[in-house]
Amino acid sequence: MTNITINSYARTTTPRNILFVLLLISGTAIGQTSFYDRLADSALTLTEQEVYYDPTYTKIPYPNGDVAPNKGVCTDVVIRAYRKLGIDLQKEVHEDMRANFGKYPKKWGMTQPDKNIDHRRVPNLMTFFARRGTVKAITDNPKDYLPGDIVCWMLGGKLTHIGLVTKEISDDGKRYLMVHNIGGGQVLADCLFSYEVIGHYQYKK
């Protein structure tokens, strides 16, 4: 029945409108855009916000606390993208750390959770996503890294880094681009395999 309707409409409309109808029907059949697609779009909007890299410890409100809009580090990209979809990683990480503090890294000499900074540390986010989300395979196949996925890297000097996979495609058509902040602000970059991948996750509350 759908094909008959489309073919009838095709005689009175342009190819562009036909494509729109096809996409509309396809979208109706599949349902609303997936959470992970929306997360990828959310990350992309962050590139419109001018941010300079500032890792300074800052006291922030709780819940839904954030540093100044013009400041941020790599973890703030992930935090802000999720917050646009109504998920507060500050609260989620703090509650899990408060109940399971012994399962989180002790890299900073902490004896108890700190809601100002815990969610802004990559190793803590890795632990949280492994506990509460889905751990995905670390491979060298770009097709395994999908929009909305979270990727963690190891940089030189044993520094950890994090970013989100978008729906934008690299110039060679082989990889999705990432949104991350490695010092130059919240930017879109072709950097999936620029550093050693040490974590690959999906998370949906």
Looking at residue 80, what is its pLDDT? 98
- List, for the chain, all residue ranges whose pLDDT scores fall below the cut of 50: 1-31
pLDDT of residue 123: 98
Query: Domain locations in the chain?
Result: 1-31, 33-202
> Are 39 and 82 in contact, with CB atoms under 8 Å apart?
yes
177 in Cβ contact with 44 (< 8 Å): no
| Cβ within 8 Å of residue 179, ≥6 positions away | 43, 44, 46, 47, 77, 81, 163, 164, 166, 186, 187, 188, 189
25's CB contacts (< 8 A; 6+ apart) are 2, 6
The tens digit of pLDDT for each residue in 135-193 reads 999 999 999 999 999 999 999 899 999 999 999 999 999 999 999 999 999 999 999 99
Beta strands in 37-175 (DSSP E): 52-53, 71-72, 134-135, 150-154, 160-169
3-class state of residue 32 by DSSP: coil
pLDDT value at residue 32 = 55
pLDDT at residue 192 in the model: 98
The pLDDT value recorded for residue 198 is 98
CATH number of this structure's domain 33-202, picked from the four choices 3.30.200.20, 3.40.50.620, 3.40.50.300, 3.90.1720.10:
3.90.1720.10
| CA atoms of 74 and 80, how far apart (whole Å) | 10
- Of the candidates 27, 139, 150, the one whose C-alpha atom is nearest the C-alpha of residue 82 is 150
CA 103 remoteness from chain centre: 23
pLDDT at 41: 98
- Residue 135: phi and psi, rounded to 5, are -85, 120
